[in-house]
Amino acid sequence: MTPSLSPVSPAWIAEAGASLGFDLTEADAERFARSVNAELDGYAVVDDLAPAGAAESVDVADVHHPSATEDPHNAYITRFTLVDDGADGPLSGLDVAVKDNLAVAGVPMTCGSRVFEGVVPRRNAVVVDRLLAAGARIVGKANMDELAYGPTSETSGFGPVTNPADPTRVAGGSSSGSGAAVAEGSADLALGSDTGGSVRIPASFCGVVGFKPTWGVVPRDGFVDLAPSLDHVGTLARDVETAALGIDVVGGYDPRDPASARASQTGVGTCAAALAAAPDAADLSLGVPDELLADHVSDEVRERFEAAVSTLEAAGATVERVAVPTVADAVYVWNAITNVELAAALRRRSLPLDRPGPHDLARLDATAASQSARGVGFGDVARERALVGAVLLDRYGGRHYTRARNACARIADEFAAALNGHDALVAPTMPVVAPELGAQKPHSYGDDDGLDVPLAFNTRPADLAGVPAVTVPDGGDGLPVGVQFVAGRCEDRTVLQVARTFERVSDT
């Protein structure tokens, strides 16, 4: 029998009540303390009913932190080899890197933070099981910005990831290691997560393909959220076909994530096969949102993007300007949602309150214990952003959060209107090429005139709307520039087909 829970004092009850908005008198606190303490012992039975359990049967070979010689761009937090020798599927022969906010049984899971170095899952994330069943060889856990908050990799507790295209520059974030691993060739496919662009940003900066599906397509059991209402798991690869193949494998319904029921509406599972029917460029109609090609886009990126659009037009595509007006206000819409959800997650010690389970209790218990013991070890960005969320929750009653959630529906409607008559929208993925290491503010970029625009300005709107988006290298010379295509909700196959058409045209 598990020991009884420790009793709480009236002072503790008063403090807890205040955090819930209760104005308790001293007598109230004493009375509730008695009733709460009388009930606490009964909860010991829950521990006895659901012990942490044993680890899954895993055979992870040679788990280690790679040396600089083995990992010149610091793309990995942990290297190892994991393969299901009996599996023979669509990913057979492919090396896959997994972002370190996805659980691999028997391998530390840090979420890019030194706080969680001692957390070792006992069960794979559902997407990891799907990779193994499809024949993939998992080769490591990819480096990332701490708690997935950052666009450059420089908030990682394990050091920044450098860009294979130019090691003096950032790889992008937060799925920084995933982008670098694919670009350097140590992985054929990588999984990342995208809350405000964290798959597409490193893909664009590193010169690879990055695909964020419709929200909910990929189940997130075994995934550590940044902001659950915006988090997407996506794929990075050297080409559209491999990125689509990866989504076909990891996407699809799983009962441990009810949101994944939407996958049945998207055609995920047949995305790679559908690329054979990618349209000719002459059959494409594309819209360029004014708001995503405004003054925040650098001259260098604008010139490269316009050249890419001209290539499509020369091949027969129709391109016209469209509007998604609320995108101009999306900065604080995204901030309100992400910061509040981050603060709420840290307060509840990352308990997955929106998932039905069963859960990896060993991982969750270790995560909660690590945060309680070492939460002071989080970096400044994670702490600052969580404090903003706490202020919005506590001082302002969360009203900005609910209004921001409503604004998401408005942005989704505007995307739908802009897409009316068009196969996809097209815009620069990033407003600048990869910045030099140390040159950036944590989550914005500026110029001598004081311009202060988030690096993720062009990527966040698709997360807010929950629509699929893919970035493809423009094919030009110099530092990588990504071209982003966005389609309507559940039009995942369509946007990948459009991306394949552009890939084909830009390669000629």
Q: Which of 153, 175, 198, 350 is catalytic?
A: 198
Q: What is the CA radius of gyration of the chain?
A: 23
* Predicted confidence band of residue 53 (pLDDT cuts 50, 70, 90): low
Buried b / exposed e across 147-174, counting CB within 10 Å, b at 16+? Answer: bbbbbbbbbbbbebbbbbbbeebbbbbb
29 shares a domain with 134: no
Buried b / exposed e across 263-286, counting CB within 10 Å, b at 16+? Answer: beebbbeebbebbeebeebeebeb
45 shares a domain with 174: no
93 shares a domain with 41: no
134 shares a domain with 21: no
112 shares a domain with 34: no
Q: Which tokens in the block code for residue 497?
A: 């087909």
Domain total of the chain: 2
Is 99 catalytic? The answer is yes
* pLDDT higher than 60, residue 446: no
| DSSP per position, 44-110 | HHHHHHS---PPP----EEEEPPPTTT-TT--EEEEEEEE-TT--STTTT-EEEEETTB--TTS---
92 shares a domain with 17: no
Q: Which domain holds residue 35?
A: 10-49
Over residues 293-302, the mean pLDDT reads 97
pTM: 0.94
28 shares a domain with 175: no
243 shares a domain with 197: yes
438 shares a domain with 479: yes
d(CA 386, CA 253): 31
DSSP 8-state assignment for residue 223: B
197 shares a domain with 102: yes
Q: Which tokens in the block code for residue 211?
A: 């695909």
Q: Which of 113, 174, 193, 370 is catalytic?
A: 174
State the pLDDT at residue 445.
Answer: 40
Is 174 catalytic? The answer is yes
* pLDDT higher than 50, residue 444: no
User: 86-105: per-residue pLDDT in tens?
Assistant: 899 999 999 999 999 999 99
